[in-house]
Structure 1
Amino acid sequence: MSMILTQAAETQLNKYFQALATGYGIDVSRIKDKFSVTGPQETRLRTALLESVDFLRMITLADVDQIKGQVIDVGIGGIHSGRKANGRFLQAVGVDGHNYELTETDSGAVLPWSTLAVWANAGNEGEFLQKVNEFINRSFALDMLRVGFNGISIAATTDPVTNPLGQDVNKGWQQLAKEWNGGSQIVGDAGSKVYFEPDGKNGEYNTLDAMASDLINSTMDPAFRNDPRLTVLVGADLVAAAQGRLYSQADKPTEQIAAQQLATSIAGRRAMTPPFFPGKRMVVTMPGNLHLYTQRGTRQRSAAQNQDRKGFESQYWRMEGYAVGDYRAYAAFDEDHVVIGPGPDPAA
Structure 2
Amino acid sequence: MSLSSEARQRYYALQASVARTYRVRSAREEFNIEPSMAQTLNDKITLSSAFLQRINIVPVRELRGQKVILGLNGPSTGRTDVNRADREPKNLLDLNGLEYELFDTQSDVALPFATIDAWAKFPDFAQRYSKAVHTGMALDRIMIGWHGTHAAADTNPVAYPMLQDVNKGWIQLVREQAPEQILIEGATPGKIQIGGTGDYPNLDALVHDVSLMIDEVFRGSGDLVALIGRDLLSHEKGKLYAAQGRTPTEKERVEMAQVIATYGGLPSYTCPFFPPKGVVVTSFNNLSIYFQDTSWRRHLLENPRRSRTEDYNSRNEGYVVEQLGKFASIEADNVEFVPDTAPEEPPEGIAA
How high is the TM-score relative to the length of structure 2?
0.89
- Specify the structure having the higher radius of gyration (Cα): 2
Amino acid at match of 2:58: A
Counterpart residue number, 1:99: 99
Counterpart residue number, 2:191: 193
Amino acid at match of 2:112: P
Counterpart residue number, 1:206: 201
- Local SS of the residue matching 1:61: strand
- 1:92-131 CA distance string (max 9 Å, x none): 111231211111111100011111111112x21xx11110
Cα drift, residue 228 of structure 1: 1.2
Contact 2:39 2:59 in 1 (8 A): no
In the TM superposition, what are the counterparts of 1:24-103 in structure 2 within 5 Å? 24-28=22-26, 31-75=27-71, 77-86=73-82, 90-96=89-95, 97-103=97-103
Counterpart residue number, 1:140: 137
- Local SS of the residue matching 1:317: strand
Cα drift, residue 327 of structure 1: 0.8
Cα drift, residue 252 of structure 1: 7.2
Among 169, 173, 177, which residue is 2:174 paired with? 177
Does residue 10 (structure 1) correspond to residue 8 (structure 2)? The answer is yes
Q: How many residues align?
A: 333
- Local SS of the residue matching 2:311: strand
CA distance in 2, matches of 1:256, 1:98: 49
Contact 1:113 1:312 in 2 (8 A): yes
Cα drift, residue 310 of structure 1: 1.0
Cα drift, residue 149 of structure 1: 0.5
Contact 2:73 2:91 in 1 (8 A): no
CA distance in 1, matches of 2:76, 2:309: 52
Cα drift, residue 148 of structure 1: 0.8
CA distance in 2, matches of 1:262, 1:168: 35
Contact 2:57 2:290 in 1 (8 A): yes
Cα drift, residue 210 of structure 1: 1.1
How big is the alpha-carbon RMSD for the aligned residues of Structure 1 and Structure 2?
2.2
Among 270, 275, 281, which residue is 2:272 paired with? 275
- Local SS of the residue matching 2:141: helix
CA distance in 2, matches of 1:247, 1:82: 52
- Local SS of the residue matching 2:332: coil
- Local SS of the residue matching 1:40: helix
Contact 1:285 1:331 in 2 (8 A): yes
- Local SS of the residue matching 2:333: coil
Cα drift, residue 258 of structure 1: 5.0
Cα drift, residue 191 of structure 1: 4.9
In structure 1, stretches of 5+ residues that fail to align are: none
Task: Identify which range, 263-272 or 10-19, moves more after superposition.
Answer: 263-272
Contact 2:225 2:266 in 1 (8 A): yes
- Local SS of the residue matching 1:33: coil
CA distance in 2, matches of 1:319, 1:184: 29
Amino acid at match of 2:76: H
Distance 1:307 1:237, change over 3 A: same
Distance 1:43 1:264, change over 3 A: farther
Amino acid at match of 2:73: G
Contact 2:72 2:93 in 1 (8 A): no
How high is the TM-score relative to the length of structure 1?
0.90
Does residue 237 (structure 1) correspond to residue 234 (structure 2)? The answer is no
Counterpart residue number, 2:350: none
CA distance in 2, matches of 1:225, 1:256: 34
Cα drift, residue 206 of structure 1: 2.7
Distance 1:88 1:212, change over 3 A: same
- Local SS of the residue matching 1:50: helix
Cα drift, residue 343 of structure 1: 9.3
Contact 2:170 2:319 in 1 (8 A): yes
